[in-house]
Chains A and B, each alone.
Chain A
Amino acid sequence: MTSPGSAVDSLSAAIKCNIIPNQEYLLQGSVLDQYVEVLLHRLRGLCDNVDSGPESFNDHELCFTLRGNTPNSSMVLPLRVRRALDVPDAPWQLRYVGQHELGDKNRPTAVRSSIDMACSSTIVEFLTELGCRVDFEYIARGYMFRKGRMKITVSKIFKMGSMASKPNESVEPISQSYLVELSVLAPSGQDAIAEDMRIFAEQLKPLVQLEKIDYKRLAHIQ
């Protein structure tokens, strides 16, 4: 048996081999509340986990940012923490989500860099002490489907109510629609998956219009 290499060595080796899934391919859309059943029905037909039925989730997501005291725009690190409210024993999830890249018109999906990992429940205290501030938080409830490597979530977004201590109560939905997201986490350069996603999104039309959404433009709309 050889002696174990240091973890940093193996990580850099993994980066070199490009096996770390650090790119998220993403399409987003929404469906009105009264049609969500139709969509779920269709997804059940299209996706892999047919027999077990859709997986439901009830997650609380906290969005942190790490920034310096000086108003320097380049020094901002967004971090997201997600925990399952319905499965208290499950590990929490920590996630870094980078800038949204739309690419040119030929590119079927938006791409953003993403580092996704499970973590222990001390994460919120850890991040707070690290210097992160909670930017906003919300609750997402809905269903998750799988189709090959693709993940489809249909979720209702709730605003945290006045009683922050009881995340399960007093929440209000922020719109009359369900958010629909189609995403794949893959190592960089695997653009073929984007094509698969486009074809899948095509199959959900006209119920849901899944498209890449320009965040920069969104910031100005209102």
Chain B
Amino acid sequence: MIDVLVTLGNTMQQARDEKQLESALDAIIQRVNDLKTSISSMIYKIENEYETLSWPTFLDNFALISGQLTSLSKLLSHDKCPTLRNLTVLPLLLSPERDDQLAQLTEGRVTTFAHDLVPDYLRTKLEPSAESKMLNLEHKAATLAYENAQKQVAAYQKVVSHVWDIVNKAREEWEVESSARGSTQQNSSVADTHLLVAAVGMGKGLKMVNNPNNQTNQGNSMIVGSQGPGRPSGPPGQSNLPPSTQPMTMNKAPSAIKTNIKSATQIHPYGR
């Protein structure tokens, strides 16, 4: 981190500017420190509490870090923040000796401020090898024929637009699906629920009298049972059937059950 041993190269700035820079740097350092502590605490958690760590807490931590990152980048792009790009970091003294203060500041990561480390830490430009590669490429691009370049660009554009189409289509599908999932009424219907519950609970639509197909009534004794439990006002006369006819209609009752009883008694509960 570019937090220590910073010498400001531009002495031409006014005192006000300097003060502003000071406060901006303080703020940045604080944000960076926050970020550092939350990253280290997350690493600690992953290393030590991986058995008990739950996915939600892990995600919480992650959200914290990303929030800190956002706030850091906001801070950097803020108007009040001086353009750090215009400032230069200049190492004044290099020494191969161990620097305890530096070690303490960097939590033991950097112990010496020597010539072999400084270029890595204070680098603002690309590595020379990368730079030369860049140069090569730029050179190549410059020498390319115009038509060739045009052709390649066109091909590239084609590919990109194709991918774009695919992604768009996928998004559309996904949105349709999620909107479909959002509407509950498609999976169940309240009317059906009520119909089923009323049928099972109170026999609505199941009672034989209600059956439009009148042939079904023969062989059923349910004429008597037509009154639902919730409808006491049903015709009382029906249940006053003379005793002689009652068993008859009853015997006719669901003959299926009768036969079932017989077959069931043949199966002896203690049989082989």
Residues of A within 8 A of B (CB): 28-32, 35, 38, 62-65, 67, 69-73, 76, 78, 83, 88-89, 100, 120-122, 124-125, 128, 133-138, 140, 157, 159-162, 164-167, 174-177, 179, 205-209, 213, 215-216, 218-219, 221-222
Contact = CB atoms under 8 A, between A and B. Distances in A.
A88 B263 CA distance: 9
Interface centre among B182, B198, B215, B221 (most CB of A within 10 A): B198
Given A78-B229, A136-B207, A219-B230, 6 more contacts: A67-B239, A83-B260, A209-B184, A215-B202, A218-B204, A219-B202
A19 to B, nearest CB: 27
20 contacts: A28-B197, A35-B186, A69-B236, A121-B260, A122-B261, A124-B257, A133-B224, A135-B222, A135-B228, A136-B203, A136-B225, A157-B196, A162-B216, A179-B193, A206-B181, A206-B183, A209-B188, A215-B230, A218-B202, A218-B204
Contact of B207 (A135, A218, A219, A222): A135
A177 B195 CA distance: 10
Interface in B221-267: 221-222, 224-234, 236, 239-240, 250, 253-261, 263-265, 267
A202 to B, nearest CB: 13
Contacts of B260: 83, 88, 121
A133 B220 contact: no
B159 interface: no
Contacts of B224: 133
Interface centre among A35, A64, A67, A78 (most CB of B within 10 A): A67
Contacts of B216: 161-162, 164
Contacts of A164: 216, 219-220, 254-256
A177 B29 CA distance: 64
Q: Which secondary structure dominates chain B's binding surface?
A: helix
A29 B195 contact: no
Given A88-B263, A157-B199, A165-B255, A206 B187 contact: yes
A140 B182 CA distance: 30
A133 B199 contact: no
A135 B184 CA distance: 35
Given A29-B188, A162-B215, A134 B253 contact: yes
Given A136-B222, A218-B194, A89 B253 contact: no
Contacts, number: 176
A220 B33 CA distance: 69
Contacts of B199: 138, 157, 174
A173 to B, nearest CB: 10
Interface centre among B193, B213, B230, B263 (most CB of A within 10 A): B193
Given A209-B184, A218-B202, A175 B196 contact: yes
Contact of A175 (B192, B236, B239): B192
A207 B196 contact: no
Nearest to A161: B216
